[in-house]
Structure 1
Amino acid sequence: MKFLQLFGRLKSSVIGMVHLKALPGTPGSVLPVTQILEAACEEAELYRRAGIDGLIIENMNDIPYTLHVGPEITASMATICAAVRQTCPRLPLGVQVLACANQQALAVALAAGLDFIRAESFVFSHVADEGIVNACAGDILRYRKAVGAEHVQIFADVKKKHSSHALTADVSVSDTAKAAEFFLADGVILTGVSTGQEADPGDLREVQSSVRIPVLIGSGVTLENVDKYIDASALIIGSHFKKSGDWRNSLEYDKVASFMEKINKLRV
């Protein structure tokens, strides 16, 4: 499996989040790209030293998000991601471009030498806080083929956070995951209702019994509850590693190191 080749294990890999400062053109932008790049590389190095298994680089501070991401965001993220790759040459690295900019994320990953992307709206439409979002699997996989990025894995959110799923209320989380698998996702991601909120451990068990592709947890994992999610293929963690558990704050090295110490004992 590509996932095994990338992370070296099929369960409980830990993927930290590098939340970039607001990028050019966004309402909160105050820093030049060079300073955003330096901060991202410093954070990635802290993660690496603490023993993290992988990282996702994300433009989380570009609030409010838009479904019309400009070329300045793609260019900035490609530049920053390439620098993080140089900082962590052997660490599995991914990228997410908010909001729902999955083709842009693939372009960034290809240009910067990254290994995977986190994709929103892969299958089924939903109503996000950015607006109505339609499924993209057919378009994104054709784009991946066209640009020669088939080595870049796509981990797709299902029933994603910060969204209403009333449009697909008759489609269960396991059926959504099955659809993502059928549409050739490399893995699926389960989350809570919002950033930092726990995913339902029952959903994890249900989806794992329904699909053969990796199932990742995308929010709410902490040192205290990690036992609930130890059987997931990977744990994507951002908020818990930041000061006061707030994704907007600075990374705390000791939190990452303590978490990695615990999970290394759990997965022996």
Structure 2
Amino acid sequence: MNELTNDMTQETAPAASWRALFSTPKPVLAMLHLGGEDQAERLSRARRETAVLVDGGVDAVIVENYFGDVDDVRRVLDALSNGAVPPVIGLNVLRDTERAFALADEFPVAFVQIDSVAGHLAPDDDAEYAERLAERRAASRALVFGGVRFKYQPVNSGRPEAEDLALGAQRSDAIVVTGDGTGVETALSKIERFREALGPSYPLIVGAGVTDENAAAQLLHADAAIVGSFFKDSYRDTGVVDADHVARFMTAVARVRSGL
């Protein structure tokens, strides 16, 4: 491993920030995809789904413009901020990191998820990107959960995976690992590689494809899971959050926690 990777085997500031944010081991971060036919339906569904998720015991809710737009994100953040606030609110504004940080500064957002923080840009573009991201992180109270080799993201760095992970860890407070697509199980071998490269204390999140059946194996080397599709009535991103699916998943996670 290179020098950057070796440094991550020691206790990290991100690990301390993680513990301050999540007191429960193996937290579950639920994704709000903002589905619906119009603005009113997207907002009402987000409210209902958040209530189901919070009642089911999830540790955080991530608001994402997966189906909606940034205006929908703003309305949902406003509603969550003035209603029954989830334990932790996260935010992912796809394709617009600047807007994500602006909204995180305006609302009680604990973390911003960015689908790729290293590896997706050619070297000539990466330095400028890293400088701007560092500026936004320094000016924001929100943590950054960053993807490396993330689903649907290109790999243009020309660097080995471990080097991109080392840079990603410098640019984030946690790394998110996924397989090839939404709802697709993340390969255990990939999770294991990421854990080895990041070291034992750096926060690692499995960001796709976690189910009640694979939760124990997926969380063996990871610190948390982002769950979207499994919570839906159809087990697809287009579905609606189902209380029974939430209960099944959280029961599986409770068994994982009890074995720690």
Identify the TM-score tier after normalising by the shorter chain: 0.7 to 0.9
Asked whether the 8 Å contact 2:211–2:230 carries over to 1, the reply is yes
Asked whether the 8 Å contact 2:89–2:109 carries over to 1, the reply is yes
Asked whether the 8 Å contact 1:94–1:116 carries over to 2, the reply is yes
Name the counterpart of 1:217. 206
Secondary structure of 1:243's counterpart equals coil
- Superposed CA RMSD in Å reads 2.2
Aligned length: 237
Cα pair distance change 1:83/1:134, threshold 3 Å: farther
Deviation at 1:169, TM superposition (A): 5.9
Asked whether the 8 Å contact 1:239–1:245 carries over to 2, the reply is yes
Supply the distance in 2 between the matched residues of 1:89 and 1:218 (Cα, whole angstroms). Answer: 23
1:203 matches 2:190: yes
1:114 matches 2:109: yes
Indicate the structure whose relative CO is greater, using CA pairs within 8 Å and at least 6 residues apart.
Answer: 2
Name the counterpart of 1:18. 32
Mean alpha-carbon deviation: is it higher for 135-144 or for 246-255? 135-144
Secondary structure of 1:204's counterpart equals helix
**Residues 66-99 of structure 1, C-alpha deviations (whole Å, 9 max, x = no match):** xxxxxxx444422311212333435111010112
Cα pair distance change 1:90/1:253, threshold 3 Å: closer
Name the counterpart of 1:41. 47
Q: Which runs of 5+ in 2 are unaligned?
A: 1-15
Asked whether the 8 Å contact 1:44–1:87 carries over to 2, the reply is no
Deviation at 1:170, TM superposition (A): 4.8
Secondary structure of 1:255's counterpart equals helix
Deviation at 1:140, TM superposition (A): 2.3
Asked whether the 8 Å contact 2:97–2:114 carries over to 1, the reply is yes
Q: Give the TM-score taking structure 1 as reference length.
A: 0.81
Supply the distance in 2 between the matched residues of 1:87 and 1:120 (Cα, whole angstroms). Answer: 28
Supply the distance in 1 between the matched residues of 2:20 and 2:85 (Cα, whole angstroms). Answer: 16
Name the counterpart of 1:137. 130
Which has a greater percent of helix? 2
Q: Which runs of 5+ in 1 are unaligned?
A: 23-29, 63-72, 128-132
Deviation at 1:126, TM superposition (A): 5.0
Mean alpha-carbon deviation: is it higher for 210-219 or for 248-257? 210-219
Supply the distance in 2 between the matched residues of 1:160 and 1:230 (Cα, whole angstroms). Answer: 18
Deviation at 1:138, TM superposition (A): 2.2
1:85 maps to amino acid:
S
Determine what percentage of the aligned residue pairs are the same residue. 24
Deviation at 1:51, TM superposition (A): 0.8
Asked whether the 8 Å contact 1:41–1:87 carries over to 2, the reply is no
Supply the distance in 2 between the matched residues of 1:137 and 1:239 (Cα, whole angstroms). Answer: 31
Secondary structure of 1:98's counterpart equals coil
Q: Give the TM-score taking structure 2 as reference length.
A: 0.83
Supply the distance in 2 between the matched residues of 1:170 and 1:152 (Cα, whole angstroms). Answer: 28
Supply the distance in 1 between the matched residues of 2:142 and 2:163 (Cα, whole angstroms). Answer: 25
